[in-house]
Chain A
Amino acid sequence: MAGRSHSLRRYLFTRIALAIPMLLILLTLVFLLMRVAPGDPISAALGGRLPQAELDRRRAEAGYDQPLIQQYLEYLGDVATFDFGTTIVDNRAVTDVIVQNGAATLELTLAAMVIAMVTGLTIGALSGRFRDTSIDVGGRLFGIVIYAAPVFYLGFLAQLVFGKWLGWLPTSGRASPVVTFELETKTNLFLVDAAITGNGEAFVDVLEHLVMPATVLGLVIGGVFIRLVRVNLIQTLKGDYVEAARARGVTERNVVMRHAFKNALVPVVTVVGLQFALLLSGAVLTEQTFNWPGIGSELVRYLDNRDYIAVQGIITFAGLVVVFVSLLIDVVNAWIDPRVRF
């Protein structure tokens, strides 16, 4: 259908064009936020640890004595070339931090999202379909309680039960030290790397370390999805086209799955995407609980060290991810829902 892909392309361009002002605002906000703290990042991070002359030199080098506008423009320019700066405290290129630790977060996030979608979609659909029955009450209660449990609390309980008392799973890190040392990292996604290099032992080890954090995080997010899917399904089941389908004798199962559920998923896609973006930019709590070396952990570490350059870089990256993923979501939406393109 030529018409379909053409309108999709046109939609894509429009969306990209609209994303740019939002991006600019986000970047400006981040920039201003980081300049609210008095003084400059260099002094804040290293003040007292280095002689004043050295501090001054570094400050001039980083450009902190220039007028604000110039700093702003330089900042924008850097972002455009993906130069997020160098951390103050350990002299790493922020881009390296993003790639290495970001991959760890990505692995965790992907696994968690899979679990979240499976639990959320099934329980939510069952709840919506069998509304007000015990299935519904059970599903809703589960969703509410699971969401009410902070991920670090579930993590605590999981570590207690499955780590200490049952001894089934390890409770911290991405992999045991041996594996971490030995594994050839190509993509920085350990599971993928273990698979490509045919390292079965490493694969199992990494998987064992991934199970608890991913499940804990996945369940909590799944709790959110349950509510969402349920409400949307109930709403679509009241739709006019659903009644019309019933009037044509379509079986209840088809009515629910093919008409109501599919239509109910449309708004859910947006939320799933947004959650994904949120998680990518730092599943901080899970990472802290399980000592997962992700980007959220790094953010906390740099924040504690007052390394504002690193913090700025990471937060900028987070913002970029969110904008990019929103764009992606809109495109996916346009792809599944033909009405959106017009």
Chain B
Amino acid sequence: MSMPALEPASPGTTPARQRGLRRVVSAFRDAHGVSKAVVWVGAAITAAFILLAIFAPVIAPYDFDTYRTADGVRFEKQEAPSAQHPFGTNVMQTDVLSRVIFGSRTAIEVVALALVVSLAIGLPLGLLSGYHGGPLDRGLVLVMDALIAFPSLLFAIVIAFLLSDTFGRGVVTAALAISIVYIPQYFRVVRNHVISVREEPFVEAARAIGAPPRTVIRRYVFQNVVQNVPVIATLNAADAILTLAALGFLGYGIQPTQAAEWGYDIKRAISDAGAGIWWTGLYPGLAIVLLVTGLTLLGEGLNDVLNPVIRRRKTEPVRFPPRPGNEGTP
């Protein structure tokens, strides 16, 4: 049995008894009220945007590049919010609300793709590198460290630029550029975690009974490491949205004819600020803030719940019953 809050726990490693993501669920149930609320709020916001992204064509009143009605009447340029255009129109004569909704589709698509790619590359590389060590590991670490040291935005810009010559300026290019920026981060986190797990007694025990490296990695190391991935992935996704918006703002993101993108819209809106036109920039920006906040809350909440070092268990106030009056009573 354990005394709550007295046992120092080694951060993040548990015996294979509580497999991978199942531990996430049990830790969640134990957690302090505030952390749980944070996770729910974050999850709700994120889910809302995902729904928006999936059902964009149905929800949005117009397409992202529609500049006239069905009868061929062009929209007003930079028209203030009205019944027809609840968020107004922008300088391109397109409906801001629709662009915001389709923007979420772009954001979710790009970030999801980038996530998959960086995980697909960073995770196995980190696992192998951390577990086997040796010259492969040393080389990879040197390269990855150098990449991490590089300012991520500059890096993304240059990659996006270079890729756009070959692949054009679409969702794929943006996703690839962003994923390259995050691969070293996944690599480093996974590798460090693998190294600490590798030294744990239960892994040594598995090796001692003759388990081949593949089994050891799969059964023990991977399960442990995978617990950290949800938190990092979520927080990286939040960051990726900001990077995508930044790319769009600078003009290296997605071609405006291919999809709507929030950052690009704000770029066009900056000059509007001088004229007092607020709706072209306010709403896309709010969308970014909301989605990133939602993802961050989700990630931070999960971290609070899962990380044993800063996790707080629920405590109830103690009430002492009156003492047993006589000797010899139960």
Contact = CB atoms under 8 A, between A and B. Distances in A.
A222 interface: no
B273 A149 contact: no
A80 interface: no
Q: Is the interface of B mostly helix, strand, loop or mixed?
A: helix
Interface stretch (A46-54, A55-63, A70-78, A150-158): A150-158
A33 B158 contact: yes
Interface string B130-159: 000000000000110111011111100110
Interface stretch (B101-109, B114-122, B220-228, B284-292): B284-292
Interface string A126-160: 00000010000100100011011110110111011
A26 interface: yes
Given A132-B34, A322-B150, A326-B149, A25 B143 contact: yes
Contact of B162 (A37, A227, A315): A37
Interface stretch (B67-75, B190-198, B264-272, B318-326): B264-272
A282 to B, nearest CB: 6
A281 B154 contact: yes
A149 B285 contact: yes
Given A145-B293, A156-B266, A288-B250, A22 B145 contact: yes
Interface stretch (B49-57, B84-92, B206-214, B274-282): B274-282
Contact of B310 (A149, A163, A234): A234
Contact of B154 (A152, A171, A315): A315
Interface in A278-302: 278, 281-282, 284-285, 288-289, 299-300
A5 interface: no
Contact of B153 (A29, A137, A285): A285
Nearest to B291: A148
Contact of B274 (A26, A164, A288, A289): A164
Contacts of B292: 147-148
A150 B249 contact: yes
A316 B220 CA distance: 42
Contacts of A29: 143, 146-147, 150
B302 interface: no
Contacts, number: 139
A144 B32 contact: no
Interface in A149-181: 149-150, 152-153, 155-157, 159-160, 163-165, 171
B274 A22 contact: no
B150 A21 contact: no
A163 B274 contact: yes
Interface string B176-216: 00000000000000000000000000000000000000000
B3 to A, nearest CB: 15
Contacts of B278: 160
B126 interface: no
Contacts of A289: 270
A2 interface: no
Contacts of B246: 150, 152, 284-285
B266 A231 contact: no
B137 to A, nearest CB: 15
A288 B249 contact: yes
A33 to B, nearest CB: 6
A26 B146 contact: yes
B309 A285 contact: no
Contacts of B143: 25, 29
A303 interface: yes
Contacts of B245: 150
Given A148-B238, A148-B292, A303 B266 contact: no
A318 B157 CA distance: 14
B95 interface: no
A323 interface: yes
Contacts of B173: none
A311 interface: yes
A319 B289 contact: no
A69 interface: no
Contacts of A277: 151
B316 interface: no
Nearest to B290: A148
B151 A235 contact: no
Given A156-B281, A160-B276, A323-B149, A150 B242 contact: yes
Contacts of A22: 142, 145-146, 149
Contacts of B267: 152
A36 B162 contact: yes
A171 B274 CA distance: 8
B192 to A, nearest CB: 15
Nearest to B296: A144
A176 B215 CA distance: 68
Interface in B4-45: 32, 34
B270 A322 contact: no
B263 interface: yes
B88 to A, nearest CB: 14
Nearest to A285: B246
28 contacts: A21-B142, A25-B146, A37-B162, A132-B32, A137-B34, A140-B300, A145-B293, A148-B238, A149-B288, A150-B285, A152-B249, A152-B263, A153-B285, A156-B273, A156-B281, A156-B282, A157-B282, A160-B276, A164-B273, A164-B274, A164-B276, A277-B151, A288-B250, A311-B158, A315-B158, A319-B149, A322-B150, A326-B149
Interface of A: 21-22, 25-26, 29, 33, 36-38, 132, 137, 140, 144-145, 147-150, 152-153, 155-157, 159-160, 163-165, 171, 227, 231, 234-235, 238, 277-278, 281-282, 284-285, 288-289, 299-300, 303-304, 311, 315, 318-319, 322-323, 326
Closest 7 CB pairs of A and B: A148-B292, A153-B285, A159-B273, A148-B293, A25-B146, A156-B281, A160-B273
Given A153-B281, A300-B250, A315-B158, 20 more contacts: A26-B149, A38-B165, A137-B34, A147-B292, A148-B296, A150-B242, A150-B246, A150-B263, A150-B288, A152-B266, A152-B270, A153-B285, A153-B288, A164-B275, A281-B154, A289-B270, A303-B161, A318-B154, A322-B150, A326-B149
